[in-house]
Structure formats: structure tokens, C-alpha cells
Structure 1
Amino acid sequence: MKKRLGYLGLVPALTLTAMAQVVTWDIEKRATGGSLQRRSKSAFEEIILNEKGRGGYFATVQIGSPGQNMTMQLDTGSSDVWIPHCDATVCKSGLCMLGSFNSSSSKTFYEIGEDEFYVSYIDDKYASGDYFKDRFQIGGNDVQNLTMGLGLKTDITYGLVGVGYATNEASKASKDSPYANLPVAMEQNGLINSIAYSLWLNDLDANTGNILFGGVDMGKFDGPLTKIDVILDEDADKYTEFIVLMSSLTATSPSGTDVLATSESAIEVLLDSGSTLSYLPTELAQAIWKEVGAKYQVSLGMAILPCSHSAHPGHFSFGFAGDGGPTINVTMDELVIDLTNGDPPLLTSGPYAGEYLCAFGIQNYTTGTYVLGDTFLRSAYVVYDLENNQIGLAPTKFNSTETNIVPFPSKGASIPGATAAPVTSTTSPIDSVVDFPMAETTNLKAADGFQDGDSPEESSVLGKANMLPILLPLSISLASAVLLSVRLL
């Protein structure tokens, strides 16, 4: 699995409540708390905290007896819950601001001795230790004896809540016989009826969004909810990740429309909340950059553009599963991301001299698996159905205050309110690691509408006095099995 790198700022604790059968985890960006209201007899919502461009969505849980508060990152791209131990060097140094676990203080802690927990990352960040079982409280409800990883040796300062397929767990022992990870354990504990959840991240500047375990909130999206197939991992002959077929990409602005990718150039993409940015094949990403006036900056290892472009008109339409499949529009204000947690760097020359510099939300990647991360997911309402191996997609309703939760009525039931795409596929027409066949991009009609002038030149991007620590993902790891955002120093 691939990792995305980023920065995590201090996240405050959250106040949570929940009702049985459907679990809501609220996601929150800057506010210090939020309360959970009754939604349905069989749905739970939970608040997650979005650190905007800084590395992910977070929520507070309680682990052990008595419960110890942990603010942890939600990740649809990984499958283990793991936390740093209080005696890990990084935590003893006072850096685990979001919580660390003291196993000796929990009366219900049970170490699983036969399997070692280990994950590693491209920047040499890692976590190793043991698997254990303990009480896990989410939204005021208990998951008894949940299997988790304990980071006894780690230089990562916060924990992770992986909610992917159990077949993708880091445990070596689970490759043949996966343990019941959080989504499975919630169903087994009777908290939800089916192993499924819905993700509503809301827009980049919103205070709250949520993940809804066991149900669909009809008040959080516009238009039809369309279900498409997850792509089977043919090598493993099982479903391991939320990979779907992206079959088209169109750019539209006041000056015109350009078709950048068609069904002949369809690719497999991973829908991953643990990735701050999105990563597409290099040729396709370059065409997108040309549309919006972004420029690849070698010194940063990413495409950048003036922050003012967030107010520019235009959108990109992502199509899935062929003709008649769902389409999600992503506007520029969701694709221009802060580079730092302080004043952004300044452009020092050229047509945008004196303007602040931001990262562009779509970056390039030379090999699969390609990723649609938070810069895409905020514009979509996404239902992850792990029982039927399907994804439901609909255009999100930003900042909606309407709530209409419909639970999955039973184990294996279809996604409530969803209709199937006319043609769904469990395999892509091309291998996701081969050269990407491009549509014509030499005469881009939409480019003028996306931008006001030329893109920033490589030699004129940053003033030396403005070289602040970069907070966004700069590279992708090929190691281990967990997606994670960590700080680059």
C-alpha cells in the first residue's frame, strides 16, 4: 500500500455521543468540540477533525478500562487500528499530544503474543510492537476485545483508525485468516447491521463532516446515489482495497470544455481518506496542470500555483464505471491547498509576483496504484459497502444541515437508495502501471477560463526568506500496508 506524507497540527479533544445500530463519527476541522445528536435507531455518526491541508481527518475515541482518550486519524486506505505506547521514545519526549496508550492502566488489556505489529513509511517513519485486544469506545458505544496494534517503538506521534478491508491488515498472520478489524467488529458487536459506512467530508473550509457506520444519510448529497463495483485484486483473488474504475475526466470553464481522459484511457484509482492530495498518471496530471496554470516545482517535488487561483471558475468532472456511471465535479476552491501552517511562500517574479504560493490538489505519480484523496473525496458522498464490494457515489451537498439517515436493514443488504451504474466492471481495460494514453491537450479550450495569466516559472517561485517547512505530501511510499500522514522536517 502507498503512503502519503503530510503535517499534523494539534487537534483538540472532541465530545461524542451515539445511538445503537448506526454509528456516526463527526469530523471537525478547527472547532474544539461537537455534540452528537440522535439520528436513527440503527445508525451511528462520529465527528472527525479535518486539519485542512495538513494531513487528514481525526476523531477522539477511548481505549481500555477505564477509557483513555486518543485523537486518531481516520483512514479508509488501511485496515488496522494502532496507537503509540506511552513509553515509546517519541511519547516520553512529550510529542504525543493527541494521546498515547498506557497498557498497564487498562484492566481489560490483553497482549496477543503470536503476531508482531509493524508498519514503515517512505521517510523512514515506522511503528513496531505487538498486537493486543482491549475495549474500544466509539461514540459512547463499546467494541469489546478489539484487536489493535501497539506502537512500542515508533517515531509517529498519533494513532490511526484503519477502516479498510480486513484482508489488507498489516498482520502477517491475518493474510490467511484476517482478524475482525473495526468495521467487522462493529457488526459482530451489534452496533451496525452490515459492514458498511458512508463518508461526508464536507468542503475545505467547513468545520464538520462525518463518517456514518451502518447507514446512508440522504440529506448529505444531491442527485442520484449510484453504486459501482470495487475492483478485485486478481493476484490475491480477493478484495483488499477500495479501488474503482475512473473512466473519464473532463475540464470545464467559462472558455470551453476539454476531454482529458476517456474510456480508452480508464485507470484504477484508490478512494483514500488517508491521502491529503490526489495522484494521477503523470501525463494526465500535466494536462490538468496546464489547464489551471500550475507548475511543477522541482525543489518542492510537487505542482504549485498562486493561492488566488482558488477563486477562479471552472471544474473537473470525474466519471466512473463507463457511460452512465456516476460523475463528481470538483471545483478550484477544493483543489488549492495551503503549503504551510504559517504565511505561505511568495512568488517573487513573473505575472503573479507578490502573490502567495499554494499546492495544487492533483499531483502526478509514475506507477499505480493511483489515488483520489481528500481533494476529490470532499466533493463526493461516498458509501463503502464491504459486504457487497461496492462503492456508492453522489455529488456531495456542502454544509448541509439536513439529516435523513437510512440504516442498512440487514447484513449484506444493498446500499439504501442506490441504483447500479448501467455498466460496472471489476477489472480495468488497461493495466494501471502502463503509459497513459492521452486525449489531445495541445489546444486546451478551458485553460483561459481557469487562469488569468501564465503559470509561475521554476526560477521565480520562492523568495529565500519565505522557505517555510512544507506541510503537504511530497512523495509516496511503496512500503508496508498503512497510509499515513506524517510531518516532513
Structure 2
Amino acid sequence: MHLLAGAAIAAFTSTCLASPGYLKLDVERRAPLDRRLVRRQNSDGSFDAPVTQNTNKLEYLVNITVGTPAQRLAVTLDTGSSDLWVPAASAPLCRKGGCDAGTFDPSASSTYNVIDEGGFNITYAAPGDSDAGDWATDTITVGGSDPIRDQQIGVALSLFDSHGVMGVGFDTNEANNPSPDGVYPSVMDNLQSAGIINRKAYSLYLNDLQANKGSIIFGGIDTTKYTGDLVALPLQAGPEGYVSEFYVTLTSVSFTDHTGQTTQLSPEGYAQSVLLDSGTSQTLLTDDVFSALANGFGAVDIGQGSYVVPCKFAGINGTISYSFGGDGGVTIDVPVSQVVGNLEFPPENFADKSGGCDFGFGPPIGGFSILGDTFLRSAYVVYDISNGVAALAQAAENRTSTSSIAVIPTGTTIPGASVTATATGTQIPDAQATEEPAVPTASVQGTSLVLTGTPTFNLGAATTAAATGTAAATTTSSGRANAAAAPTAALLGLGLAAGVMVL
């Protein structure tokens, strides 16, 4: 397995804090992820494995154990999916040392039981990106919890992705499985039935971009991790026409520059259903809003859903504001420093001496508008599966106290959420979902990539250097194109995403 330079391997240390009714554990940041995960699509156009996109940016992992005796792994925490699957130690990728977050050996577990041999299969967007194997049951723990026996899991024997995923969404959104009604008890179901939590609800605190750890509290809310009001938002129907994912109503998006001047990016009357999804690194907005935001920063399209801005933009004193729920709703402010991410072009291959960095936004994928990690780092979010509600507040960054955790009880109320917004949103119409955003595309001249974006926002001193120029393609000693060259290949139709790893 080839990782991008500077990749950090997940650590197998975890802080677990448990009390009657809740379970708190660390969520550990890792950079970068080298895979793109999207929904599995059937031949008839329907989706049955809702694992959402996560490109070569950041990801967030939690520690689990599987089997008896316990085998330790780290898996991506994904609020946008509902299945737990793990890589088998016998998978070819793992045998080559490519499973850097741990593996599972079924033969070493006395409690392992196959229930559908060969029945597990998830296919992702990149060519050849498929994970397949068996549906099975075994004993698991989540971040040091009490054992959960007979949890259904997917065990990937044929593996493309380097580690597994723990989905903590609605059980009605699970992938195809051998259960007669298409639904089996998920991790969230079993945390409740085992008495570890009182309600299928949890709160997520990713913390800021510079922090190594955030936290998730199953069955609890930490009132020290947010400021202002915690506002409840009724969940909206997904593409299937019913509530099965964490869609809430986004009613406004704006940008405020360093002078305090605010530019409205969303049109009047905007009411868009957006998915709160920790399994997606970027924030994917409707074409009109995304185009206005990207052009404001002078971002350019380098292919395969990736956009680049000068790295110095991470130091801009500016804010992107998202409002939810209409009257009585909540606004989350996201500093620009939280959305300008990984280095895609080193300074020597970029016109601006600060280098070219990933712009943490993109247009919708397949008609889905998603608020991923570049939004969630600035929000404190409560996900209430039992009642079809999400609650949002402004995150308080880098708070370490754990002295004010409130248990989420049985019932319908969310502790601390005294306001419920009522605005409804709609999905992106099919016709609009196929439109292309109006963002400049990087052009190719020989072996060089020419960047042509010019910011329309007042970005202060950050715009004094040129925002256009040429980035030359280079090749590593292994013969693999580096991050500067890969976008050029994408533009030439070679199907390579920026930073994709080659096996």
C-alpha cells in the first residue's frame, strides 16, 4: 500500500468513559485517507449500501474489538451508513501489510459464526474499488464498552479499502443482508438492548482541524463542548421518500470577510435537505451555492471532484455561515481555517509560494447535498435515531473537560435543546443534480497544469500574491505520479483522482 507523504497511522490508544446510560470514547483523526467511498448502486439505479464519500482528505476513526479473545482494530466512524464491517487478516491487501488500522482473523475467534458465506459485498466509485466477503456474527466491544454478543458484521475477504467502517445510522439503511426483513440489529440497536445506552442517540464532537482527537458520546451530551443554544431540527425525508438518514433543512449560506462584509451565497427562499455525515470529508453543496463559494476563493477544478486554492488562504480571517431550520433555527459559523486542507501541490509546483491546498468543498454527488467533516468540525451535533431528530450548536474548540455529561434518557426530549426549528427542505431536483458547477477548470499545457482561478471575495493580504500559474508534473522514484501530477492525469482522462493511492 502506498500512502501519501505525511500520512498518520491510527493509534490504538483510546479513552473510554462509561457511566449508567452513556459511553464516551475518543474519535481519532487521521490524514490523509486514500479512498473514495460512495453508495453502492444496483443495475436498476437503486442504492443499497449507503456508505458515503470520503476522499483523500481527513477521516475519523474509533477503536473496537472483535472476537474472543478480543482483536483490536480502528474503523471509520460513519454517521451516514449503518453497517459494521472489518478487513479479514487473510485478505490479500492485509497480507501485504496494507491494512494499517488492524485486521480480524476469524479462525482465532471462538465466538465467530458465518451466517451468509459470500453474501457481503460493497462496491465503491473508483474502478475496482470493492470489498466483499461473508456476513457473520461475533462478540464486539466499542471503545472499551461491555461486550456485545452476536453482533452481525461484514468480514471482507476480498479487499480494496485498507480498513473497515462502523456505521451508526438508521438500521433501515443497512446494506443487503440475509435477514428476512432486510434489517438486522445494528451496533446502535445493540448498544441500547444491552443496556449500555437508554436511547439510540449520540453526540459528536470532531474538534478543530489542528486537534488530534474529538469524541463521541453514545447516549449522552457534553454541555462543555458547545456554546449558545442547542437547537433541535426535525429530520427530513431522504431520496427514498422517508426518514432513514440524518437530513436537516439548510436555509442560508453566506461568507463574511475580514472587514465584516457579508456576501449571501444562497438564493432567497433557499431550503435544501442536507445530510450530516461524518463519513464524508468534504462539504458538498448545491451547484449555485458551491459555485459562488468556490469562485469567491478563486478555487479551480483539478478533476475527480477536487478543487484547489493557495494554502495561505487557511490564514484568512473569514467565516462561512450556515443557517438551519428557518425561524427559531441555528447558525453555525465555520472559520476558513477549518476548510483549507491537505497540500496538493508543493510550492515548487505552484505559482503561489504557499503551495496549493485542497478546498474542502465540492458540488453534490448523485443529487446528494452533504455537510461533511469540513462543516462538522465546527458543529456540536446530537443524532437522535429513536425520534428522527438532530440537534446542532456551535462547537467550543479544544475543550477537554468531561465534567458535564448529561445522559440522554428514554423519551423524546434532548437535554439542553429547548428550541425546535420547523422549516422543511427538499432534495435536489433530478434536473439540477446533473448540472455542472460554474467553476474554472485547470488546463493542461504539455506536462504542466495551469491554474486560472481569481478570487471574487475580499480576502485581504492573502490575495496580494498571484493566484494563477503553472504546476509541473513530477514522478516519484517508484514511478507513481505525485499529488501535483495526478490532477493532470485526471484532466487528460486517465481516471486518476488527486492523491489516489496505487496498489
**What range is the shorter-chain TM-score in?**
0.7 to 0.9
Is structure 2 residue 491 aligned with structure 1 residue 460? no
Map of 1:160 onto structure 2: 165
1:345/1:452 CA distance change after superposition, 3 Å: same
Is structure 2 residue 501 aligned with structure 1 residue 488? yes
Map of 1:339 onto structure 2: 343
- What is the correspondence of 1:411-430 to structure 2 with a 5 Å cutoff? 412-425=411-424, 427-428=425-426
Q: Which segment is superposed worse, 186-195 or 121-130?
A: 121-130
- C-alpha separation in 1, matches of 2:389 and 2:180: 22
Q: Which segment is superposed worse, 216-225 or 149-158?
A: 149-158
Deviations 1:201-253 (A, max 9, x none): 00000122101100111000000000101112373x54221111111101111
Match of 1:63 among 55, 62, 66: 66
Q: Which segment is superposed worse, 172-181 or 157-166?
A: 172-181
Map of 1:392 onto structure 2: 391
Code of the aligned partner of 2:392:
L
Higher relative CO (Cα under 8 Å, sequence separation at least 6) belongs to: 1
- C-alpha separation in 2, matches of 1:129 and 1:276: 26
Map of 2:277 onto structure 1: 272
Q: Which segment is superposed worse, 79-88 or 21-30?
A: 21-30
1:433/1:407 CA distance change after superposition, 3 Å: farther
Is structure 2 residue 238 aligned with structure 1 residue 228? no
Match of 1:239 among 240, 243, 246: 243
Deviations 1:82-129 (A, max 9, x none): 011111111122212221111111111111138811101111211111
- Consecutive unaligned residues of structure 1, counting only runs of 5 or more, are 1-5, 32-50, 439-443, 475-485
Map of 1:217 onto structure 2: 222
Q: Which segment is superposed worse, 378-387 or 172-181?
A: 172-181
The DSSP-based 3-state class of the residue aligned with 1:288 is helix
The DSSP-based 3-state class of the residue aligned with 2:189 is helix
Q: Which segment is superposed worse, 70-79 or 88-97?
A: 88-97
Map of 2:147 onto structure 1: 142
Map of 2:495 onto structure 1: none
Code of the aligned partner of 2:325:
A
Code of the aligned partner of 2:139:
R
- What is the correspondence of 1:89-100 to structure 2 with a 5 Å cutoff? 89-100=92-103
TM-score where L is the length of structure 2: 0.80
- Consecutive unaligned residues of structure 2, counting only runs of 5 or more, are 32-53, 438-454, 489-498
- C-alpha separation in 2, matches of 1:320 and 1:430: 17
Contact 1:346 1:463 in 2 (8 A): no
Tell me the number of residue pairs that the alignment of Structure 1 and Structure 2 aligns.
442
Contact 1:282 1:366 in 2 (8 A): no
Match of 1:190 among 190, 195, 208: 195
- What is the correspondence of 1:19-30 to structure 2 with a 5 Å cutoff? 19-20=18-19, 21-29=21-29
The DSSP-based 3-state class of the residue aligned with 1:191 is coil
1:450/1:116 CA distance change after superposition, 3 Å: farther
Contact 1:277 1:363 in 2 (8 A): yes
- C-alpha separation in 1, matches of 2:89 and 2:117: 22
Map of 1:261 onto structure 2: 266
- C-alpha separation in 1, matches of 2:313 and 2:483: 22
Contact 1:231 1:242 in 2 (8 A): yes
Pairwise CA RMSD of aligned residues? 3.3
Code of the aligned partner of 1:327:
T
Code of the aligned partner of 2:409:
P
Map of 1:406 onto structure 2: 406
Code of the aligned partner of 2:220:
G
Contact 1:277 1:473 in 2 (8 A): no
Map of 2:362 onto structure 1: 363
- What is the correspondence of 1:305-324 to structure 2 with a 5 Å cutoff? 305-324=309-328
- C-alpha separation in 1, matches of 2:180 and 2:188: 17
Q: Which segment is superposed worse, 259-268 or 56-65?
A: 259-268
Is structure 2 residue 175 aligned with structure 1 residue 170? yes
1:16, distance to aligned residue in structure 2 (A): 4.1
Code of the aligned partner of 2:277:
D
Q: Which segment is superposed worse, 366-375 or 198-207?
A: 366-375
